[in-house]
């Protein structure tokens, strides 16, 4: 397809609903597309929708080594409910060892740049390696989650592959309603007041009136509440991250 045709197709998909987008995606990319999920509400809604329109759906998750036990429980529920093989991606052990040796196991509490370093090594780099196998991937991003996600497109082409966010225009209530109506498995930590679920040390329950991303890295102020998978930290933190990452990779090779 030429560039003009591709742009027209992407514009059409922007108006499509989640089911039609997933039908198009799995027909277009076959076994070179995967749902990437941490089994939060959005990812589970997508997985359930996908199970209704395609077979042999690939499911990828990141095991950072710091996940809560409830997430492993969720993985088992997903295997039993949907009969899928979960492709679990782990960070490079040598990179984790070098980082922890240099900065300690809980470095993320020290500064935003150190937290970004931990996310980079435990999440971003492992996912980048996995994505090299794929032509497209499906995420649970929604525009209403925070300001950084307000302009998320349902289908976009970047870095040689297609990124698909079929729930981009859904509200949190739409996600909850879909899960209730279709008896979709729910991550146990939601009952404890969590609205976002990541690594155990970096996630807490959210209080009344708080933003749904408030439970992520709650000790940080005036910093992006993103891990770097979907949005790269900007400015000073990014430059510091580059330095920290280079030091860790050099220590690993030493």
Report the alpha-carbon distance of residue 212 to residue 144 in Å, rounded. Answer: 10
Provide the edge-to-edge strand list for the sheet that holds 161-164.
86-89, 58-62, 33-36, 136-138, 161-164, 155-158
**Do the beta carbons of residue 206 and residue 194 sit within 8 Å?**
yes
- Which positions are annotated as active-site residues? 227
The count of C-alpha atoms lying within 13 angstroms of the C-alpha of 35, restricted to the half-sphere facing its C-beta, is 30
Select from 175, 122, 112 the least CA-distant residue to 144: 175
Which three-class secondary structure state does DSSP give residue 216?
strand
């Amino acid at each position: 397809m030429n560039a003009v045709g591709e742009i027209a197709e992407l514009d059409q998909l922007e108006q499509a609903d989640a089911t039609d987008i997933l039908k198009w995606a799995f027909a277009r990319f076959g076994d070179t597309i995967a749902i990437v999920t941490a089994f939060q509400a959005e990812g589970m809604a997508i997985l359930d929708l996908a199970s209704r329109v395609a077979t042999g759906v690939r499911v990828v998750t990141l095991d950072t080594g710091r996940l809560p036990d409830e997430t492993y429980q969720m993985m088992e529920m997903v295997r039993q409910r949907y009969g899928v093989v979960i492709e679990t991606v782990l960070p490079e052990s040598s990179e984790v060892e070098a980082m922890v040796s240099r900065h300690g196991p809980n470095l993320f509490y020290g500064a935003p740049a150190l937290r970004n370093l931990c996310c980079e090594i435990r999440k971003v780099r492992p996912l980048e390696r996995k994505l090299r196998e794929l032509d497209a991937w499906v995420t649970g991003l929604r525009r209403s989650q925070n300001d950084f996600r307000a302009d998320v497109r349902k289908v976009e082409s970047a870095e040689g592959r297609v990124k698909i966010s079929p729930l981009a225009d859904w509200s949190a209530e739409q996600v909850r309603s879909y899960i209730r109506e279709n008896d979709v498995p729910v991550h146990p930590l939601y009952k404890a007041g969590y609205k976002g679920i990541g690594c155990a040390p970096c996630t807490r329950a959210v209080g009344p009136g708080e933003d749904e991303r408030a439970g992520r890295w709650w000790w940080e102020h005036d910093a992006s509440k993103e891990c770097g998978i979907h949005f790269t930290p900007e400015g000073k933190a990014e430059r510091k991250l580059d330095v920290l990452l280079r030091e860790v990779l050099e220590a690993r090779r030493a």
